[in-house]
Amino acid sequence: MALFRLGLPGENTLILRGDGVTLRPAEMRDYEEWVALRDRSRAFLTPWEPIWPADDLTRVAYRRRLRAHTEEIERDEAYPFFIFDEREALVGGITIGQVSRGVAQTATLGYWMGQPFAGKGYMSRAVRAVAHYCFVTLRLHRLEAACLPHNDASAHLLESVGFRREGYARSYLRINGVWQDHLLFGLLEHDPILSPRRPLKQPSSGR
């Protein structure tokens, strides 16, 4: 469910609330918590993500990232969110990216989860909240996602929400410095978004 509120200058006004999770765009006040979680989870995330720039965890790079996120949202190109648990602790991030309007009305989904919070169901709840936002508020027709063929946890997560496995793309994305094949998934606006059944047995770390 998407909620909007009036805020002070510099405050985010876009908040998504799911089952036990809250999603909102990143702010400067999140930097210390974000850098601590990303640094602690580096080895856990490395196999699933592009190579991190040398300055990735610096405050300067983080500030650049915030500016880019604000511009992407304003241009209706992408919607990056941080994910917070019931205690308002940062647990991961999720992005509605590559928004395409016109005849497509589609977007792609990317996500990451901090290692201490993996396998606890937070990401599946966040994906459900984001899918609802995509179809109800953004009025998209289709949401796409991809994961590495050996990332069983991510494939299971997507299918548990309602995504259907649609194909296999060779050398699709450059992950950890190597062009790698990916499984392709899709969710349409009229597809049911499935309710959670049980906690994930394996950690879901990346796309």
For residue 195 the two structure tokens come to: 């309710």
Does residue 99 lie in a domain region? Answer: yes
pLDDT 10s digits, 86-112: 999 999 999 999 999 999 999 999 999
% of the chain exceeding 90 in pLDDT: 87
Average pLDDT of the segment spanning 169-197: 95
Total domains in the fold of the chain: 1
Does residue 199 lie in a domain region? Answer: no
Average pLDDT of the segment spanning 126-143: 97
The helix/strand/coil state of 166 is: strand
pLDDT 10s digits, 51-82: 999 999 999 999 999 999 999 999 999 999 99
pLDDT classification of 1: cutoffs 50, 70, 90: very low
Among residues 56, 110, 57, the alpha carbon closest in space to that of 83 is found at 110
> Cα(167)–Cα(117) distance, rounded to whole angstroms?
29
Does residue 93 lie in a domain region? Answer: yes
Average pLDDT of the segment spanning 172-198: 93
For residue 179 the two structure tokens come to: 């062009």
122 membership: H or E segment, kind and range: helix 122-132
Among residues 163, 126, 160, the alpha carbon closest in space to that of 142 is found at 163
CATH number of the domain within which 25 lies: 3.40.630.30
Give the domain extent around 139.
2-6+13-188
Does residue 179 lie in a domain region? Answer: yes
Does residue 142 lie in a domain region? Answer: yes
Residue 202: predicted pLDDT: 42
> Cα(104)–Cα(135) distance, rounded to whole angstroms?
13
Radius of gyration (C-alpha) of the chain in whole angstroms:
16
pLDDT classification of 195: cutoffs 50, 70, 90: confident
Does residue 195 lie in a domain region? Answer: no
